[in-house]
Amino acid sequence: MPTETNLPAGRENYRSYARTWLAAHLPKHMLADSLDYRSPTLEESRQWEAAMYKAGLAGMTWPNAYGGHGLSLREHLAVNKEIGALSMPESVSSIGKELAGPIIMTVGTEAQKQAFLPAILNMENYWCQGFSEPDAGSDLARLRTRAIPQGDSWCINGQKIWTSGAAKAHYCLLLTRTGTVADKHRGMLMFAVPMNTPGIRVVPIKSIDGKESFAEVFFDNVLVPDDARLGAPDEGWSAAVRVLSIERATNRMYRPWRFESELGFLVRACQSDAQLARLMEDGHYQRRIGQVIGEIDGLKGLVERTVSQLIKGDEIGAQGSLTKLYWSECHQAFAGLAQSIVSQVTPASSPLAQRAQQSFTQAYLFSRAETIYAGTSEVQLDLIAQRILRLPRE
């Protein structure tokens, strides 16, 4: 396993290393733009992500003491550019790596860091995020799930919804409140709750794409020990804000490069088929594709700027809402464009065009959620108006 002493130094060297390693080791059946593609199993994904970590392509910025490689965001971004350039599957452990891990490093005890962080990188456990609720949605101030002290434990009652990966998760990054809804942001408490704790019930939800990737999660008199608490009893809101700023600003930095890869796949598929090739000569589609190229460049600029600010030690805060709003709205529009093109594929079309139809139909269906998860577009616009533009409330 590479260590911080034998991984290549320097951003460009690291990017070249990542490109070479991925080209040599990524199974062809995991590439969505390959005719060999098939959806990987959970175990195949686990093994692949564990191999990426051992190769130094995950946990780049995590401290060595907790299993990371102790590198900077520059190397993290360099690797993400190469990951984005390939049509590889999304991580099956993104919540652990991108949300639970950073928040544990921020507010967790030393014992919690030692227990959880190396296991996340080694793909020994998966996490889900218990934030959204039926009556609250993205408005965490309306959260109702209660945590009541009971001796050396906490008794938790409530319901979460749209909990991605809950059916496979070993732990839940759970946000609760110790008071009432009237307390709004006060009295919130975060836990790392084992999903096999008695009283937890997971009910999968089938989405429009036919998958059951998220679920409702019910907590009925769930007792968790005090050492499952992440942070102080009134630190839940500030911890949640940190999680959301991470989620909106820094997660999946590869998005614009993946976006670019998807566009390249769409164009190649069209060029492989006489009927679709004619669409590429149509002025309407040429203008739309030109617009997409501009949006990709804009998103790259946002990501690069975010990394530069973080390296300088600047707080991102509500600026993450700009990035989240931009990428989700642009990618959803691109998915609509792609779907309008691949909907014209027939059984007589080229094999690559048929593969594109399968891939972009799934992407289009999933994209309907992109302006909802991690905070709806309406919530992002409200945050931008209040915290960046400082517009007055009516």
Under DSSP, is residue 17 helix (H, G, I), strand (E, B) or coil?
A: helix
Q: Which amino acid makes up residue 240?
A: A
In this prediction, residue 94 carries a pLDDT of 92
pLDDT tens digits along 145-159: 999 999 999 999 999
pLDDT tens per residue across span 305-335: 988 988 888 877 778 888 889 999 999 999 9
* 3-class DSSP state of 352: helix
- The mean of the pLDDT values for the chain is 91
**pLDDT greater than 60 at residue 1:** no
Q: How far apart are CA 246 and CA 321, in angstroms?
A: 10
CA distance 97 to 248: 14
d(CA 187, CA 176) in angstroms, rounded, equals 9
When pLDDT is averaged across residues 126-150 and rounded to a whole number, the result is 88
Domains 127-234 and 252-388 share a fold: no
CA distance 262 to 357: 12
237 within 8 A of 140, measured Cβ to Cβ? yes
The answer to whether 76 and 60 have CB atoms below 8 angstroms apart is: yes
What is the value of pTM for the model shown?
0.90
Average pLDDT (267-294) is 95
Helix (H, G, I), strand (E, B) or coil at 90: coil
**pLDDT greater at residue 246 or residue 282:** 282
Which pair of structure tokens corresponds to residue 312? Answer: 């300088």
Domain boundaries, the chain: 11-90, 127-234, 252-388
The yes or no reply on domain 127-234 and CATH 3.40.718.10 is no
The pLDDT-based confidence of 2 (bands split at 50, 70, 90) is very low
Q: 233 falls in which pLDDT band (50, 70, 90)?
A: confident
- Bigger pLDDT: 338 vs 11: 338
Task: Note whether 323 and 300 are within 8 A (CB).
Answer: no
Q: Would the pLDDT of 270 be above 80?
A: yes
CA–CA separation, 343 and 278 (whole Å): 15
pLDDT at 6: 67
Residue 4 confidence (pLDDT): 42
- pLDDT tens sequence across 20-40: 999 999 999 999 999 999 999
Name every residue whose Cβ is closer than 8 Å to that of residue 239 and which is 6 or more positions away in sequence. Answer: 103, 106, 107, 190, 230, 231
Residue whose token pair is 């396993």: 1
Indicate the pLDDT class of residue 3, thresholds 50, 70 and 90.
very low
11-90: CATH topology is Butyryl-Coa Dehydrogenase, subunit A; domain 1 (1.10.540)
What's the pLDDT score for residue 135?
83
Evaluated on CA atoms 299, 301, 307, 310, the torsion sign reads negative
Chain centroid to CA 271? 32
Say which residues have a Cβ less than 8 Å from residue 253's Cβ, sequence separation at least 6: 76, 77, 80, 84, 303, 307
Residue 7 confidence (pLDDT) above 80: no
At the fourth CATH level, the homologous superfamily of domain 252-388 is Butyryl-CoA Dehydrogenase, subunit A, domain 3 (1.20.140.10)
95-123 average pLDDT score: 94
pLDDT number for residue 318: 77
